[in-house]
Chains A and B, each alone.
Chain A
Amino acid sequence: MKNEIKSLRVERGFSQQELGRALDVSRQTINSIETERYTPSLPLAIALARYFGKQVEEVFHADGN
């Protein structure tokens, strides 16, 4: 699923490791979400959006846009 995780993370100066640690997931899971190889669960998607102070639909794009 297309998302803004990488741009939001880089914008705030976090590493994948730091973001993963904050959300209790591995660095590889953050990488897989950023590269669209893994679609996170709804709770994790909400947690990611909240972490960046955004709405879920601002971070994840189900329609691919």
Chain B
Amino acid sequence: MQMATDRGGKRPWWRSRWWMPLFSVFLGTAVLVAFWVGGSPREGLYGFAVMGGLGLVFLFGSRSETIRGLGGPGRDERWAHIDILATAVSGLVLITLIIALWLNDIAHGGDGNPYGGLAAVAGVAYLVSVLWLRFRA
């Protein structure tokens, strides 16, 4: 049985106050490099600034429960529950949109790409997850 919290123990790394700020900077750096390689360093710097700003919000926005939950330090078991539901809603919205775009593309004479492939990946990922969780839980 997995304990919901680390009462009395060391906090896991994803509850460190540095996790999300550092991840934001990492993502910002990846955006910067990608735009730079693509010949648009200005857009890359803009993306890096946005992600860096987000990192600062996570680092210093500790008064807000939402920021603490998204950032890591406030991620207790209730927040994990909220996170799972929010992830499920996001996935459902995305899959519904991909299927709608796939059908729309086919109806307009297209081959359905890349939506068909994305829908297939989503479906396979769902089935693999169900099977894995079925045997794990």
A-side interface residues toward B, CB under 8 Å? 23-26, 28-29, 32, 38, 40-44, 47
B28 contacts chain A at the CB level, 8 A cutoff: no
How many B residues face the partner with a CB closer than 8 A?
Answer: 17
* A-B contact number at CB 8 A: 43
What are 5 sample pairs from A and B whose C-beta atoms fall under 8 A apart?
Answer: A25-B78, A26-B69, A29-B78, A29-B79, A43-B5
Interface of A is mostly: helix
In the bound complex, CA of A40 to CA of B79 (Å): 11
Cβ contact of A24, chosen from B1, B68, B76, cutoff 8 A: B76
Q: Contact: B81 with A44, CB < 8 Å? A: no
Given that A23-B7, A24-B7 are known contacts, is A29 also in contact with B77, CB under 8 Å in the complex? yes
Given contacts A24-B5, A25-B5, contact A44 B77 (CB under 8 A): yes
Closest to A33 in B: B78
User: Which of B3, B4, B68, B81 is within 8 Å of A26, CB to CB?
Assistant: B68
B5 touching A38, Cβ below 8 Å: no
Give A27's nearest chain B residue, CB to CB: B65
How far is it, in angstroms, between the C-alpha of A43 and the C-alpha of B8 when the chains are bound? 13
Are B78 and A32 interface neighbours, CB within 8 A? yes
Contact between A44 and B4, CB atoms less than 8 A apart: yes
In the complex, chain B residues whose CB is within 8 Å of the CB of A29: 76-79
B45 CB → nearest A CB, Å: 36
Pairwise interchain contact A26-B65, C-beta atoms closer than 8 A: yes
